Amino acid sequence: MPNITNKQCRKAVTARSKIYDAECSGLYVSLSPTAPPTFSLKYTCPITKERLTHWLGVYQEPERGVDYWRKEAWKLKVKINAGEDIAQSARQARKLQAKRSGITVDQIIDERIAWISELAPIRRSHLR
């Protein structure tokens, strides 16, 4: 199994495929003709013993090339080996980010209901 290269990520593809990295086990890039190359890490959760996939991000040369994503995968593997559930950590980070954005789904629903209730009734005089 060869290492993932920047050349492979830049190359146009005609069919969806995955290339696994030899240097960092579990790291792979998903190549698609309709989407940019995306990096993910397959791992076994130390708590649940399930085989999971963690989405890392999108290939963007030169600042986020193969070496960048390989380093990010190694950082996550260190956390996994220390017993951390990285999926739970990611969920908590997204939840915190949503709180910081200031709007919740309940608020959006309340605004929509208020907007609908303010609509004027439709006159149907042409039906008489």
Chain segment 33-73, per-residue pLDDT in tens: 999 999 999 999 888 889 999 999 999 877 888 999 999 99
The pLDDT value recorded for residue 16 is: 95
Beta strands in 1-128 (DSSP E): 17-20, 27-31, 38-44, 51-58
Whether the per-residue pLDDT at 128 is higher than 60: the answer is no
Sheet holding 51-58: strands in order across? 17-20, 27-31, 38-44, 51-58
Task: Please give the Cα distance from 116 to 23 (Å, whole number).
Answer: 56
Residues 6+ apart with CB under 8 A from 120: none
Which residues does 17 contact at the CB level (< 8 Å), separation at least 6?
30, 31
Which listed CATH number (3.40.630.10, 3.90.1150.10, 3.40.50.720, 3.30.160.390) goes with 1-84? 3.30.160.390
